[in-house]
Structure 1
Amino acid sequence: MTDIAPTLRSPSGFDLTPPAEAERERLEADLSPEEKRVLLAHGTEAPFCGTLLGEKRAGVFCCRECGLPLFRTGTKFESGTGWPSFTEPVDATHVRTVTDRSHGMTRTETRCARCDSHQGHVFPDGPPPTGLRYCINSVALAFVPEGERLPDPLNRGDGAA
């Protein structure tokens, strides 16, 4: 008998099972040097330089590494900080938080719940209804316009919009 790990599903139906080592290596090989610096080494892109800062089309912002949907355009707002900002994730289980004590301060880092890639930080100074500001690096996201198929680089059948 073979032991097979159960599939972890989010309430919205997405497979949250972490990628196997070979899958992770394949996903990481597809990243640019800047994407690797932010997603894998927990870096930050320069403010007001991200390609998704001004994105206003209806759609979904997915993890650049594994394709998990993280934020919707309807939750995006102009924070004035220089990074795309959102009030809440597509599904609370899609974004994991970790205490970040780097740079001489304490912040709450956000990571993709499936591949554990660094996305940005969340702060308690956002607008209603949540009062939260998910401040996310553009390079950590892939934008998918409404009606288009979501990325599914792990071939898990999660690509329906």
Structure 2
Amino acid sequence: MKIQINPIGTIYSPYKQTKGIPIQGRFKDDVEAFAELHKEYQAGLKDLDGFSHAILIYHFHNETEEKITAHPYLEKENHGIFAVRSPYRPNRIGISIVKIKKIVDNRLYFNEVDVFDETPLIDIKPYVEFFDKRENVKSGWVEKHFKNGVPKQTIL
């Protein structure tokens, strides 16, 4: 089976290269970006401004390499690709939870961004605390890096 996905728009951010990008957007929450949707999807933004956060689903367009194991930031050893958030994934699909600032026409403005400039946007979903938040969460190998709070090396 072959799947074809077409972008609904483009994410524009100040990140043109890896240096300076956070490993997760919440670690550098003062940086703003926006997603510009194709005009035919503008009506889909209706009522999204009633949510504080959104989940952006996008394509890691700058990555061409695919790996089954990867060496994540903060870690010295490789882990399976499905146990890390590396862009070297089989389908190169990324997700980010962003904080919504405003919506103007076909643009969604947000911060807590960790996405490269001109990234193809595949979908947007509202972050719903009652659906998305989980209790008693285990975070595998990542837990040891956060046992004393957020580590200093959260920016690439």
Normalising by structure 2, report the TM-score: 0.23
Greater relative contact order structure (CA < 8 Å, 6+ sep): 2
Structure with the bigger percentage of strand: 2
Q: From the CA coordinates, give the structure whose radius of gyration is larger.
A: 2
